[in-house]
């Protein structure tokens, strides 16, 4: 940024926080959604009397808000550059290209499994979403967990417009909250177009807007001094934890909206955890691969290999199994995608 400003959240910090968010996402999908765990799959909690995995998984829903906050924050670092529209069109193209690669790979796997196991309803159901709408993330994602792609792509394209209001932080936050409430109202009344989920965009733009606003607030020297205090980190974590316990025990249906609205409270503790020397490098490595890890993991833990993932029974073994196998697949597929991109780049001049 101009004036030699140093962001409070460095790229390494952001990657480490994304790594934490990946672990929260895995925990959420493994333990917090019992209707998705099909017999004979099951898990044994560490403490039989207190299923901490379930509560941590419920809290793990905040992972999406964390990703969007970091996206808004990261995008805001380049708002002073004049080529903002071109850069975000390029971002959208790269994201859609990566999505298309994994869509194609997943589609081939699903079709193969459905042919080999015609009695299995799950791959057949997924195969019905193989189409242009699913490829362009419009209306019908290939699997439910990929709903995020549509919203994220829209936010990439809308960012140059949102960035114009970034200097007026109160207005920006106010409009973001109004859009969130509008989306929640429309969602409650199930008023949502089939082709594009306007409610998801209105609801989930809020953490993205928070990130954009934070990027401008952090330029203030006093803000930087206060943000780095241990008292702030402790107070924010305590407020988030107290709110989570209160809502989980009294009104669990509104937990997701609470986590979206309150996600900035998690930021100080996430930064502190991400800066832990023993874990920083590993978390950052995961965070750098957050996109393929997100796209791959539901096929293992929910759709095509659930019994295999839950075979260890104990919750830590299940989490480790999903993490290791998703990472191995991500590394292999990213290597293949890199080769494909390189070949396409070489072929482009010859086709021009």
Whether residue 210 is predicted with pLDDT greater than 70 in this model: the reply is yes
CB of 32 within 8 A of CB of 60? Answer: yes
Q: Give the model's pLDDT for residue 1.
A: 46
Q: What is the pLDDT of residue 136?
A: 79
Q: Are 19 and 63 in contact (CB under 8 A)?
A: no
- Vertex 22 angle, CA 16 and 23, to 5°: 95
Q: What whole-number distance in Å separates Cα of residue 270 and Cα of residue 282? A: 15
Name the pLDDT band for 305 (thresholds 50, 70, 90). very high
Residue 121: both structure tokens together: 């309803």
Report pLDDT for 112: 94
CA distance 195 to 193: 6
Q: What is the pTM of this model?
A: 0.93
Query: Which pLDDT band holds residue 324 (cuts at 50, 70, 90)?
Result: very high
57-101 tens-digit pLDDT: 999 999 999 999 999 999 988 766 678 888 889 999 999 999 999
Quote the distance between the C-alpha of residue 230 and its chain's center.
27
C-alpha to C-alpha distance for 100 and 92, rounded to whole angstroms: 12
pLDDT bucket at 2, cuts 50 / 70 / 90 = very low
Name which residue leads in pLDDT, 221 or 277. 277
Spatial contact of 9 and 70, defined as CB atoms under 8 Å apart: yes
Residue with tokens 């396409």: 344
Task: Write down the pLDDT at residue 227.
Answer: 64
d(CA 78, CA 87): 9
Q: At what angle do helices 315-351 and 84-116 cross, to 10 degrees?
A: 120
**How far is Cα 283 from Cα 285, in angstroms, rounded to an integer?**
5
State how far the Cα of 183 lies from the Cα of 189, in Å rounded to an integer.
10
Residue whose tokens read 């669990």: 252
Helix axes 267-274, 230-250, angle to 10 degrees: 120
**Looking at the predicted structure, is the pLDDT value of residue 246 above 80?**
yes
Q: Are 160 and 82 in contact (CB under 8 A)?
A: no
Alpha helices (runs of H) in the chain, residue ranges in sequence order: 11-31, 52-59, 62-76, 84-116, 121-127, 132-135, 148-162, 169-188, 198-217, 221-227, 230-250, 255-262, 267-274, 277-288, 290-298, 306-309, 315-351
């Amino acid at each position: 940024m101009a004036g030699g400003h140093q962001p409070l959240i460095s790229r390494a910090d952001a990657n480490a926080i994304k790594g934490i968010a990946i672990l929260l996402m895995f925990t959420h999908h493994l333990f917090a959604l019992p209707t998705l765990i099909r017999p004979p799959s099951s898990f044994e909690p560490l403490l039989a009397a207190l299923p901490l995995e379930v509560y941590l998984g419920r809290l793990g829903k905040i992972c999406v808000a964390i990703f969007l906050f970091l996206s808004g924050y990261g995008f805001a670092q380049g708002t002073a550059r004049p080529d903002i529209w071109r850069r975000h069109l390029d971002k959208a193209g790269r994201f859609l290209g990566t999505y298309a690669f994994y869509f194609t790979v997943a589609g081939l796997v699903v079709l193969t499994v459905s042919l080999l196991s015609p009695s299995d309803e799950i791959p057949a159901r997924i195969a019905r979403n193989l189409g242009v709408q699913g490829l362009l993330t419009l209306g019908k994602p290939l699997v439910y967990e990929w709903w995020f792609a549509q919203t994220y792509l829209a936010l990439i394209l809308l960012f140059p417009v949102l960035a114009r209001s970034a200097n007026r932080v109160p207005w920006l936050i106010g409009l973001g909250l109004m859009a969130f409430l509008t989306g929640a109202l429309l969602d409650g009344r199930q008023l949502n177009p089939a082709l594009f989920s306007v409610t998801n965009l209105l609801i989930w733009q809020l953490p993205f807007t928070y990130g954009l606003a934070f990027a401008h607030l952090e330029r203030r020297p006093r803000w930087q001094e206060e943000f780095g205090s241990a008292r702030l980190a402790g107070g924010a974590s305590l407020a988030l934890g107290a709110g989570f316990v209160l809502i989980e025990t009294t009104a669990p249906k509104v937990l997701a909206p609470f986590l979206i609205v309150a996600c900035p409270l998690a930021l100080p503790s996430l930064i502190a955890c991400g800066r832990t020397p023993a874990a920083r490098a590993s978390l950052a490595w995961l965070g750098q691969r957050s996109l393929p890890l997100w796209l791959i993991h539901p096929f293992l833990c929910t759709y095509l290999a659930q019994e295999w993932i839950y075979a260890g029974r104990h919750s830590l073994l299940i989490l480790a199994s999903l993490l290791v196998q998703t990472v191995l697949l991500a590394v292999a597929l990213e290597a293949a995608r890199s080769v494909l991109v390189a070949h396409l780049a070489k072929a482009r001049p010859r086709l021009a």
